[in-house]
């Protein structure tokens, strides 16, 4: 468990279902996530994991059931932040301005600049405030996106396959970055990923979604920092994969 | 050296033209020598007639552009953002677009006479459609990923418009701007040729009456220079506004 658990948001889902017309994507999900936990959601394409994240982010409403974040329903604003698979930076604004997009409520110019600077420092991009997004690499853009998600100090950070578009080495660096930021800030994190080894490397808990329901809920009690190639990690990964692939 | 190369062909053409005129291959009644045209230009500049006419033509063009472009821009934004507005007005506008505006000239003369209103109206009408279409297209084709990001990050509608929609639509808007500028000059030239008592087109028609071919050629060149100037200003604005875009960074 991270040292600053009190700063994360508690997430509660009760009987959450989501249907798009006739197609039922999520069926009666019940879930309790304590503050500061790092949860990974894995599953095949179409199992509903991205939909679940969008519901949590407030981009969509459940067909039935309730979602409470820190015991509040409805408008989440700065408490919840979402990171997409693409960086989704505004190409016509410089890096610092892009990070400041995450500061929804008006601050003074000085405050906005300082907070953006601090966030960029944390993701390892200090000094890049005035660059245009177009000069950054894919990994750097994702780091700006991470800074944007963190700048308002959210209690819940949602990550929708954020590393899928990166090369393998950059992916590992980003995983380390996300883990260290999470340990420092103590927010609750939910990452959706198709990569089970990534889930094992990052999360305290893995949820396997299958046809809109939670088919597996595994605690990962390995010490951090986790080493890839560790036997215990591999065992968990194998277990989850077997269930995922129904072997 | 590279900067000079694009001018190579035009310079050679003008030189060939001068040579042909001097050798008597080109009759002065068909196409006067460049030196002849330059001399006519010098005369008109000295007497002030050239500048008065340019001023009047430019004024008509700009006012017409401001009116037609302004309305086109506003409607383009509205119809790009609001499905209701688009359903109500777009079909009507598309029907009107298919009427070649230059064909309306006789009607316009009947309505407005040959005063300034007629010319400004025609320019405004011609400029309206490229600007309307491209603005609407620009607004519609803003990256939906960015719109979703804006929503997820709690941007107000106003913030979404100023920070996501409008900047995203700018490349298209500039295309409309440059098209509109071309049509502006085209419309002006025709309008001034048919129904005017001042301006460059009038100067050309007047010269035709008196067989002053050099003045006619001069008028054409003046139009070309003005057109090129307007386009250059537009390109400068475009480069400046779009400097974040890799495609425009090196243009």
Least-confidence region, from A90-99, A213-222, A223-232, B200-209: A223-232
Higher pLDDT, B250 or A11: A11
pLDDT at A5 over 50: no
Average pLDDT taken over every residue of chain A = 89
Kindly list the residues of chain B whose beta carbon comes within 8 Å of any beta carbon in chain A. Answer: 145-146, 148-155, 163-164, 167-168, 170, 244-246, 249
Of the candidates A81, A92, A133, the beta carbon closest to that of B167 is on A92
Of the candidates A58, A59, A132, the beta carbon closest to that of B244 is on A132
Contact yes or no for B154 and A92 at CB 8 A = no
pLDDT per residue, tens digit, chain B (251 aa), is 777 888 888 889 888 988 888 888 877 778 888 888 888 888 888 888 888 888 999 999 999 999 999 999 999 999 999 989 989 998 899 888 888 888 888 898 898 888 888 899 999 999 999 999 999 999 999 999 999 999 999 888 999 999 999 999 999 999 999 999 999 998 998 888 877 888 888 888 888 888 888 888 888 888 888 888 888 899 899 888 888 877 766 54
Q: Angle of helix B49-81 relative to helix B116-140, nearest 10 degrees? A: 40
Share of chain A above pLDDT 90, in %: 60
Question: Residue A6 — very low, low, confident or very high, per pLDDT cuts 50/70/90?
Answer: very low
Q: What is the maximal distance between C-alpha atoms in chain A?
A: 57
Q: Determine the average pLDDT of the residues in A79-106.
A: 90
Q: Determine the average pLDDT of the residues in A76-103.
A: 90
CA angle B103, B104, B105 (to 5 degrees): 90
CATH ID of A5-89+154-245, from 3.30.1490.20, 3.40.50.300, 1.10.10.10, 3.10.20.90: 3.40.50.300
Report d(CA A116, CA A113) in Å as an integer.
5
Contact yes or no for B249 and A134 at CB 8 A = yes
Q: What's the confidence (pLDDT) of residue A108? A: 85
Q: What number of residues does chain A have?
A: 247
Q: Which of B206, B224, B208, B182 is nearest to B14 (CA)?
A: B224
Report d(CA B166, CA B157) in Å as an integer.
12
Contact yes or no for A134 and B153 at CB 8 A = no
- Nearest chain A residue to B145 by CA distance is A88
Contact yes or no for B152 and A82 at CB 8 A = yes
Q: What's the confidence (pLDDT) of residue B142? A: 95
Question: Residue A198 — very low, low, confident or very high, per pLDDT cuts 50/70/90?
Answer: very high
Q: What's the confidence (pLDDT) of residue A157? A: 95
Q: Determine the average pLDDT of the residues in A150-178.
A: 91
pLDDT at A77 over 80: no
Of the candidates B153, B155, B245, the beta carbon closest to that of A91 is on B245
Domains of chain B: 35-249 (1.10.3720.10)
Which of B151, B152, B238 to mutate to probe the A interface, most A CBs <10 Å? Answer: B152
Which chain A residues are closer than 8 Å to B245 by Cβ?
A: 91-92, 134
Q: Rounded to a whole number, what is the distance in Å from the CA of A125 to chain B's nearest CA? A: 19
Q: How many CB pairs under 8 A join A and B?
A: 45
Report the DSSP pairing between strands A156-160 and A80-83.
parallel
Q: Rounded to a whole number, what is the distance in Å from the CA of A131 to chain B's nearest CA? A: 10
- Nearest chain B residue to A101 by CA distance is B153
Q: What's the confidence (pLDDT) of residue A247? A: 65
Is the peptide bond between B44 and the residue preceding it cis, with omega within 30 degrees of 0? no
Contact yes or no for A59 and B163 at CB 8 A = no
Contact yes or no for B155 and A132 at CB 8 A = no
Of the candidates B153, B245, B246, the beta carbon closest to that of A104 is on B153
Q: What's the confidence (pLDDT) of residue A45? A: 83
Q: Give the torsion sign (CA, A98, A103, A105, A107).
A: negative
Contact yes or no for A133 and B244 at CB 8 A = yes
- Nearest chain A residue to B171 by CA distance is A92
Are A206 and A183 spatial neighbours (Cβ–Cβ below 8 Å)?
no
Which of B171, B244, B245, B248 to mutate to probe the A interface, most A CBs <10 Å? Answer: B244
DSSP string, chain B: -TTTGGGHHHHHHHHHHHHHHHTTSS-TTT---HHHHHHHHHHHHHHSHHHHHHHHHHHHHHHHHHHHHHHHHHHHHHHHH-HHHHHHHHHHHHHHHTS-GGGGHHHHHHHHTTSHHHHHHHHHHHHHHHHHHHHHHHHHTS-HHHHHHHHHTT--HHHHIIIIIHHHHHHHHHHHHHHHHHHHHHHHHHHHHHS-SSSHHHHHHHHHHTT-HHHHHHHHHHHHHHHHHHHHHHHHHHHHHTTTSHHHHT-
Least-confidence region, from A145-149, A169-173, B122-126, B245-249: B245-249
Q: Rounded to a whole number, what is the distance in Å from the CA of A34 to chain B's nearest CA? A: 23
Domain ranges in chain A are: 5-89+154-245
Q: What's the confidence (pLDDT) of residue B250? A: 57
Question: Residue A26 — very low, low, confident or very high, per pLDDT cuts 50/70/90?
Answer: very high
């Amino acid at each position: 468990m991270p040292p600053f658990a009190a700063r994360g948001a508690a997430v509660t889902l009760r009987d959450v279902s989501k249907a798009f017309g006739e197609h039922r994507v999520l069926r009666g999900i019940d879930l309790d996530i304590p503050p500061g936990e790092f949860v990974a959601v894995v599953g095949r394409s179409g199992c509903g994991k991205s939909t679940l994240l969008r519901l949590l982010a407030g981009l969509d409403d459940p067909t039935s059931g309730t979602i409470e974040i820190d015991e509040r329903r409805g408008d989440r604003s700065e408490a919840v932040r979402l990171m997409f698979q693409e960086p989704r930076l505004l190409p016509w604004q410089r890096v610092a301005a892009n990070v400041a997009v995450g500061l929804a409520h008006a601050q003074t110019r000085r405050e906005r600049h300082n907070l953006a600077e601090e966030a960029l420092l944390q993701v390892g991009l200090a000094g890049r405030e005035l660059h245009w997004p177009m000069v950054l690499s894919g990994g750097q853009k994702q780091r700006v996106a991470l800074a944007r998600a963190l700048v308002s100090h959210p209690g819940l950070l949602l990550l929708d396959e954020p590393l899928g578009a990166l090369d393998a080495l950059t992916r590992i660096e980003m995983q380390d970055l996300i883990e260290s930021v999470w340990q420092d800030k103590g927010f609750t994190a939910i990452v959706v990923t198709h990569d089970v080894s990534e889930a094992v490397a990052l999360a305290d808990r893995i949820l396997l979604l299958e046809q809109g329901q939670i088919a597996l809920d595994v605690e990962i009690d390995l010490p951090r920092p986790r080493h890839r190639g560790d036997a215990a990690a591999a065992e968990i990964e194998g277990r989850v994969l077997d269930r995922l692939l129904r072997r | 050296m590279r900067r000079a190369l694009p001018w190579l062909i035009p310079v050679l053409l003008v030189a060939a033209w001068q040579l042909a005129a001097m050798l008597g291959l080109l009759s002065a009644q068909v196409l006067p020598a460049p030196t002849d045209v330059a001399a006519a230009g010098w005369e008109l500049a000295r007497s002030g007639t050239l500048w008065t006419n340019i001023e009047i033509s430019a004024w008509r063009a700009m006012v017409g552009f401001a009116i037609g472009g302004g309305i086109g821009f506003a409607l383009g934004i509205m119809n790009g953002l609001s499905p209701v507005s688009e359903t109500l007005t777009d079909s009507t506008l598309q029907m009107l677009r298919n009427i070649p505006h230059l064909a309306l000239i006789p009607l316009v003369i009947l309505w407005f006479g040959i005063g300034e209103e007629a010319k400004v109206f025609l320019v405004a009408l011609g400029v309206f459609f490229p600007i309307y279409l491209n603005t609407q297209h620009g607004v519609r084709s803003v990256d939906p990923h960015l719109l979703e990001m804006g929503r997820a990050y709690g941007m107000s509608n106003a913030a979404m418009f100023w920070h996501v929609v409008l900047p995203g639509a700018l490349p298209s808007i500039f295309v409309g701007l440059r098209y509109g500028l071309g049509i502006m000059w085209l419309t002006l030239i025709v309008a001034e040729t048919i129904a005017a008592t001042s301006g460059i087109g009038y100067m050309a028609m007047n010269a035709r009456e008196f067989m002053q071919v050099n003045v006619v050629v001069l008028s054409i060149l003046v139009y070309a220079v003005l057109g090129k100037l307007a386009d250059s200003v537009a390109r400068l604005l475009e480069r400046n506004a779009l400097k974040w875009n890799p495609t425009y960074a090196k243009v």
